[in-house]
Structure 1
Amino acid sequence: MKQQNNWNVFLSYIKQAKIPKWMIAVALLLSLIETAGILIVPVFTGDIVDQFALGQLNVLLIAVLIGAFVLQAVAGAVSYYLMSYMGEWVVADVRKQLWRRILHLPISYFDASPSGETMSRMTHDTDTLKRLITDQLVSFVSGIITVLGAAIILLIIDWKMMLLMLLVVPLAIVVLHPAGQKMYQVSLKTQDEMASFSAGMARVLGDIRLVKAYNAEAEEGSRGTSAVDRLFRFGIRQAKILAIISPLMTMVMMIVLVLLIGYGGSQVASGALTAGTMVMMMLYLFQLIFPFTQLTSFFTEFQKAMGATERIQKLFSDADELQAEEQIKTYTPIPAEEQDIHFQHVSFYYPSAQQEEERVLTDINCTIPAGKVTAVVGPSGSGKTTMFGLLERFYQPVEGDILYGSASLQDVKLSDWRNQIGYVSQESPLMDGTIRENICYGLENVPDEQVRQAAELAYAADFIDGFPNGFETKVGERGMKLSGGQRQRIAIARALIRDPKILMLDEATSSLDSESERVIQKALQTLMKGRTTIAIAHRLSTVINADQIIMLEKGSITGIGKHEELLAEHPLYRKLAEQQFNQ
């Protein structure tokens, strides 16, 4: 039943691709012409054999036979190209849909799924679909047409021989069905293992500096070797299944062929058939048998494709951010004026949490005033970054709600809300590309003057101008060609250029030296005026001038006030301040 559902899903991919109808019609017409050419050849071949037996030779007949060969070859070539083109079209459409779906999956999905596994779905699994369509389905369709044509002709010529051929069908089912079920299960496990292997490679290559810094090459080499060995064992299991299917199918075909040749030979000996007719029938028999020999290859790829379809469909079935928004019939527009942000009894825990004690945030109640600077401080693991994740709507509160003014964030269009936010994280992620592309990331048609202004406000223009290619300098994968401070300043420029209403700073100056931090703090102070700013900070020196400081401990708010108020009234805050300022 599951395979039938996967087959229906697979067919739906073909329908959704919206292949031009004229292309389908031309491909089918050429397939019919190719089949006609193939089916004509035995008839003329039989006549030529009979003419040879009589010592005659019809030149026109030979010319027609050559013409049939040429027609079949040309029609087959064009038909194969069109069918392959349509196969590539379908797979390209699936990949586009899958890529759009992946981009809109919630952060919770990426928290639970290694990126390498997702990459495997996008590349390896879709490539499995591609092989079925372009390599197997093309020959399968043309083979079916050929089988039907040859079967009809054989039925007309000698129905008894056709009945002998029909013995193949139940025998093939007996051989292929149980093996197919096993191949399907092995294919699923193989694709899972390949996804896990891809995830491991992505993890290691993404943190190759860590691997080398801690001399972990041997450990990672051992893990990789174990993963390859597991893939090897799954490959051997597939080979064992094929080792059973292929010889059995070949044996069945040989038995049927021997019976047919014996029967046909007896008919020729008795004079019931001419030698030419016998040759013609043998050619038709081969046209029936050859597609059956291809069945094993098609069957194997079909089972793999059904497994790949199930994996891909799982991604399509996961709810994404766009689907969640589609359930909202009317969006609440975001006011032009800045509004206070209210956390109302917000609690949150990650999906993997099993008990209430694993909550990251518990009953958060606070107001972040518009146009003011609010700092969130507290020990590591207290929930500061999770608060940011909720504000960015990476996650949804398990309990409670977050309001912008009087509107729940759940009623505001996600893209509109995120357009209000400029975000600078402590990791300063950069995309592989130029400095300009990173500053303008997510924006289109940004004037050069605006890019430079953002860089100057972030105090990044000086070091950018020092590069030979300036703003067109390639930053490398994850920005590794730049220093930590340079990456941080480009990230700040990226936030500045959006001119956001809400500025979110997650340890925004953590990678800077003292001099750079002092300069950028000054720039940020100017930028924060009249703008709602929320800053996470471990170093209290960066937030002592904040209009409001929220103290978090173990996921709960234990204090709200200015620096002086918390210093006087909050024991943990005072302890942290003494530790940092007395160093």
Structure 2
Amino acid sequence: MTFFKLINQIHPKYWQLIVGILLGFISTGASLFVPQLAQRLINNFRHVSTSLIILTAIIFIGGLLIGALSGLILGIFGEDVVAKMRKTLWSKLLYLPVKYFDNTKTGEISSRLVNDTSQVKNLLANTLPNAVTSLLQFFGALVIMMAMDWQMTLIMFIAVPLVILALLPIMQQSRKIGRKRQDELANFSSDSTSVLSEIRLVKSSNGENKELTTGNKRISSLYNIGVKEAFINSLTQPITNMLMMFLFLGILGYGALRVMKCLAKLKKKPNMIKKLISRTKNLN
């Protein structure tokens, strides 16, 4: 709630966010509708309708253009938010008492002013709209899949959350490491900025060795965090691929069983097989 109160204080242009998300919805709907048209084209490839081809091309290209426009509007919204936030923070910093700057390192303040506001922009302009459109795409694809084959869809609907639950511990560790990395970067930026800005004082007091030791500790801490992050990232990809492979093999196996059952039923009804053969000949 504190975060949203902070955002409301700068009076962002929410209409840009709403328009960008709505255009993202339209683009997502087009991306869901195009495969249905492509399926009709493939099924009727011997008697392709020119109007259907034109309609598919228009929806496909229109979806791409609308998606690009959505990204542009959301990007402008994010830049507007981060600019207003930086102006507000800069104005606040200039009127703070000197005591605050005595107790807070200059590098840390500048890091919060530049890096943290950029993270807010990425959240509002990229992460939030992508999450909303991804939900629409998920539910839209779910409806289409249910209409095509509810049994296969049900299996996937159950299996995918299981995969996400299996990856949840790794995702939590990655989030913790990312937070530690951001804090450590702010501390390192603060220390290095303070030392370099007061380099004359450091040299006059023969504090090079002390600052060298402190800097090396910060760099080593960043290295250790980076190693942990690399380890987590190295585990994420193989585990995800393995789980998705199991999911694919399970769904493929279930589909093969259903095909075998259908073939067994057809063998018991030879008249149905003759009808299918005759229909195939007619199509040829």
Q: Tell whether the structures are fold-level matches, with TM greater than 0.5.
A: yes
Match of residue 270 from structure 2 = none
| Residue 246 of structure 2: aligned partner | 255
Pair 1:175-2:174 in alignment: no
- 1:26 and 2:19 aligned: yes
Q: 1:99 aligns with which of 90, 93, 97?
A: 90
TM-align CA RMSD: 2.9
Query: Residue 197 of structure 1: SS of its match in structure 2?
Result: helix
1:164 aligns with 2:155: yes
8 Å CA contact retained: 2:10, 2:88: no
Contact 1:37 1:69 in 2 (8 A): yes
CA deviation vs aligned residue, 1:480-523 (integer Å, no higher than 9, x gap): xxxxxxxxxxxxxxxxxxxxxxxxxxxxxxxxxxxxxxxxxxxx
Residue 240 of structure 1 is matched in structure 2 by 231
Aligned: 1:189 with 2:186: no
- Aligned partner of 2:42 in structure 1 is 49
- Are residue 116 (structure 1) and residue 91 (structure 2) matched? no
- 1:39 CA displacement: 0.8
| Code of the aligned partner of 1:49 | I
- Displacement of 1:91 in angstroms is 2.5
Structure-to-structure mapping, 1:439-450, within 5 angstroms: none
Aligned length: 262
Which residue in the other structure is 1:126 paired with?
117
Alpha-carbon distance in 2 for matches of 1:236, 1:131: 25
Instruction: Confirm or deny: 8 A CA contact 1:186 1:234 kept in the other structure.
Output: yes
Question: Partner letter of residue 151 of structure 2?
Answer: K
Q: Distance in 2 between the 1:82 and 1:146 partners?
A: 20
Q: TM-score, normalised by structure 2?
A: 0.78
Q: Distance in 2 between matches of 1:170 and 1:96?
A: 45
Instruction: From the superposition, tell whether residues 125 and 248 of structure 1 become closer, same or farther in structure 2 (CA, over 3 Å).
Output: same
Kindly provide the CA deviation profile for residues 153-199 of structure 1, in whole angstroms up to 9, marking residues without a partner as x. 112222212211222114313422x3344334333332332222112
Q: Write the deviation string for residues 320-345 of structure 1: whole angstroms up to 9, x where unpaired.
A: xxxxxxxxxxxxxxxxxxxxxxxxxx
Other-structure match for 2:73: 82
- 8 Å CA contact 2:21, 2:129 repeated in 1: no
Measure how far apart 1:64 and its partner are: 1.5
Counterpart CA distance in 2 for 1:245 and 1:9 is 32
1:142 aligns with 2:130: no
Who is 1:62 aligned against?
A: 53
Q: Give the drift of 1:62.
A: 1.8
| Residue 14 of structure 1, CA deviation | 4.2
Instruction: Report the secondary structure of 1:18's partner residue.
Output: coil
Question: Structure 2 regions of 5+ residues with no counterpart?
Answer: 266-284
CA offset digits 1:517-557 (Å, max 9, x no partner): xxxxxxxxxxxxxxxxxxxxxxxxxxxxxxxxxxxxxxxxx
Residue 217 of structure 1: CA displacement?
5.7
Alignment correspondent of 2:192: 201
Provide the C-alpha distance between the structure 2 equivalents of 1:59 and 1:267, rounded to a whole number of angstroms. Answer: 36
Mind listing any 5+ residue stretches in structure 1 that lack a counterpart? 1-7, 273-583
Answer whether contact 1:39 1:146 (CA < 8 A) is retained. yes
CA contact (8 A) 1:172 1:249 kept: no
**Structure 2 counterpart of 1:27, one-letter code:** G
CA shift for structure 1 position 31: 1.3
8 A contact 2:13–2:77 mirrored in 1: no
What one-letter code is carried by the residue in structure 2 that aligns with 1:31?
G
Work out the CA distance in 1 between the residues paired with 2:124 and 2:13: 17
Write the distance in 2 (CA, Å) between the matches of 1:268 and 1:48. Answer: 25
Offset of residue 152 of structure 1: 1.4
Q: Which has the higher helix share?
A: 2
Q: Deviations over 1:435-491 (max 9, x none)?
A: xxxxxxxxxxxxxxxxxxxxxxxxxxxxxxxxxxxxxxxxxxxxxxxxxxxxxxxxx
In the TM superposition, residue 48 of structure 1 has moved relative to its aligned partner by 1.7
Partners in 2 of 1:147 and 1:44 — Cα distance?
Answer: 19
**Would you tell me which structure has more strand in proportion to its own residues?**
1
Whole-Å separation in 2 of the counterparts to 1:39 and 1:268: 27
1:73 is aligned, of 35, 55, 64, to 64
The answer on whether the counterparts of 2:23 and 2:66 sit within 8 Å (CA) in structure 1 is yes
Matched residues in 2 for 1:12 and 1:170: separation? 36
Amino acid at match of 2:144: I
Q: How far apart, CA to CA, are the structure 2 residues paired with 1:142 and 1:100?
A: 36
In structure 2, C-alpha distance between the alignment counterparts of 1:46 and 1:267, rounded to whole Å:
22
Q: Which amino acid aligns with 2:40?
A: D
Corresponding position: 1:230 with 2:221: yes
In the TM superposition, what is the alpha-carbon distance from 1:74 to its structure 2 partner?
0.4
Whether the 8 Å CA contact 2:107–2:189 is kept in 1: the answer is: yes
In the TM superposition, what is the alpha-carbon distance from 1:36 to its structure 2 partner? Answer: 1.6
Identify the residue that residue 36 of structure 1 maps to in structure 2. Answer: 29
- Measure how far apart 1:206 and its partner are: 1.0
**How do residues 258-337 of structure 1 correspond to structure 2 at under 5 angstroms?**
258-264=249-255, 270=262
Instruction: Show the counterpart of 1:326.
Output: none
* Cα distance in 1 between the residues matched to 2:216 and 2:130: 37
1:421-460 alignment, distance < 5 Å? none
Overall identity of the aligned pairs, in %: 33
Q: Which amino acid aligns with 2:28?
A: T
* 1:46 aligned counterpart, secondary structure: helix
Measured in 2, the distance between the counterparts of 1:62 and 1:113 equals: 64
Say if 2:167 and 2:240, in contact at 8 Å, map to a contact too.
yes
Q: Please tell me whether Structure 1 or Structure 2 has the larger radius of gyration of its CA atoms.
A: 1
The Cα offsets for residues 237-266 of structure 1, whole Å up to 9 and x where unpaired, read as 222233333333333333323333444566
Which stretch of the first structure deviates more once superposed, 112-121 or 208-217?
A: 208-217
Inter-partner Cα distance in structure 2 for 1:245 and 1:14: 33
Q: Which stretch has the larger CA shift, 198-207 or 256-265?
A: 256-265
Q: What is the CA distance between 1:150 and its match in structure 2? A: 0.7
